[in-house]
Each structure stands twice: as structure tokens, then as C-alpha cells.
Amino acid sequence: MTDTAKESGSALHKAVLVLDALFESDRPMGLADISATLDLPRQTVHRIVRQLEDLDLIRRDFARDHFSVGARMVTLSLNALHAAYRLAPMRTVLKDLVATIGETCNIGILDRDGVVYIDRVECDWPLRLQFRPGSRVSVHATAIGKLLLAHLPSRTRKRLITAAPLPALTENTITDPDVLEEELKTIRRRGYATNDSENLTGLIALAVPIYDGDGKVVAGLAVHAPDARMSVKKAEEHLPTMRAVAAAMQKHIIELQEKDGDKEFESAEAGSMPAD
């Protein structure tokens, strides 16, 4: 961002910059960190942070007086993502994938210590497990969860794995942090994750990553099926199709990012916002 944009930025613009910084950081940030990252006066950052905290858009880590994204911001983000995926061409692509594979497919993102489905298309089989978009599932026992864990920064990943016990949801659930870490290494190496009755007995899944324009994994695309209809090995046969669909979704994400970038540039050039 140019110096002109900084000088002309409104209070709202600066608040968005603070939220962006917290979203991009892999750890809670202190006032000094935020001030240095954004090149804004600490007094300005303190005022914005206090207002965002009052709105529950960010939360304070009282142990260190640092800040991270709050519950209300997470909810707003999930609602926005859900709306975007349902209204965008990606929804059509997801429907086509289900028609091709013949099993339920969904898109999920990481939400702290769980996975939230932001879009899901059910298959036509009478025997199926129905989850609505917005449903939350475990991170250590699902294909999307393990996939997204595998692509987190090392420090963040280890903190999530060791912060709380890994409950055994079935006899196949990985409950040992060291074993899970080895599984995540395998996922990073081969580029996809599987779930063989680890979350629910009799349910398998396979997930591939969805990237943004910067090559960062932002979501997972998964197929789910009862093991009576599809084995993990059979699901792996659909990898080329699923990767092609994930690439199509990445293309649309890049288009959205470019549009947002153009709007931000135009706003900065206009410089019509009053300074805070």
C-alpha cells in the first residue's frame, strides 16, 4: 500500500488492515507487532484494537496481552465464504463433480480446532450421511481436517495437535500426536488426504487442496461415501477429476482476488476518504 493510501485511509480502512494482519499471522499479535507490520502509530492501533475487541471481532490473549481473530469475525467470515461459494460458479462445478463421481462432495475450511463445511452437494443415493453447510467436524479424524492441518505452518500445526487430547471417535481414529504428525507428512508428500472410518465407522473420504492465487491452501475439496459403495482405493481413482475441479475453483478464486485488488487500487487512487 502506498504512503498516500495510508494517509488518506479512513478509520474503517485501518480497522480492515488490522484484521488482515491478524488473519495472515500464524500467532497472536501484540500492539507493537501490529503497529510495525502496518506502519501505523501505536496510539491509532490501540484505539482500533479496542473498538474491534468491543465488537468481538478480535479477542485478547490475557496471558500475553496479544490479539487474534475473534468469534464474531470467524462467524462473519464463514457466512461470507458460504455465500460466495453458493453464488459463484464454483457451486456449479461442485454439482458437476457429484454427478460425475456419484457420491457426496463438499468444501471445508479450518476453523480453529475444527473443520466447517462451507458448501456441500449430496448424492442421490438413499443411503447417505447428510450434513448441512456450516456443519462442524473434527480436524484430526477427517480427510479435509488432516489435509488442512498438514499445510499449516509448523508452529501452528504442532500447537493444534498438542493443545488438547485427540479423542477416539472410532477404532481407526489417530489419537497419538506423533503418529498424526507422520500421517500429515505423508499427506504433504502425496498431495491428498484420506479418511478410512476414522470419524464415523463405515464412512470413507478423500480430500484434495484448493489453493488461492498465492499458492496457499485455503480449503479442502472432499468426496464422502459409505465403504459399502466405495473403498479408499476406489476413491483414489477419482484423484485426477478432483484435482481438475480444485484447479477450476482456484482459477475462480484468483479472479475474485484480482477484482478485489482492482477495487482496492481504485479506492487508494481516489483518496476520497477522510483521514482518521
The stretch 137-149 carries a mean pLDDT of 93
For the chain, give the mean pLDDT.
82
Query: In which band, very low, low, confident or very high, does the pLDDT at 155 lie, cut at 50, 70 and 90?
Result: confident
The whole-number pLDDT of residue 156 equals 86
- Could you tell me which CATH number the domain at 73-256 has? 3.30.450.40
The whole-number pLDDT of residue 92 equals 85
The whole-number pLDDT of residue 27 equals 79
Q: What is the largest CA-CA distance in the chain?
A: 63
Q: Is the pLDDT of residue 199 over 60?
A: yes
- Could you tell me which CATH number the domain at 3-69 has? 1.10.10.10
Domain ranges within the chain, ordered by starting residue: 3-69, 73-256
**Cα(65)–Cα(80) distance, rounded to whole angstroms?**
29
Cα 52 to chain centroid, rounded: 22
Q: List, in order, residues 6 or more apart from 218 with CB less than 8 Å away.
A: 109, 210, 211, 212, 253
Query: In which band, very low, low, confident or very high, does the pLDDT at 185 lie, cut at 50, 70 and 90?
Result: very high
**Entry pTM:** 0.67
The whole-number pLDDT of residue 4 equals 39
The whole-number pLDDT of residue 131 equals 57
Q: pLDDT per residue over 73-87, tens digit each?
A: 776 766 666 565 555
The whole-number pLDDT of residue 87 equals 55
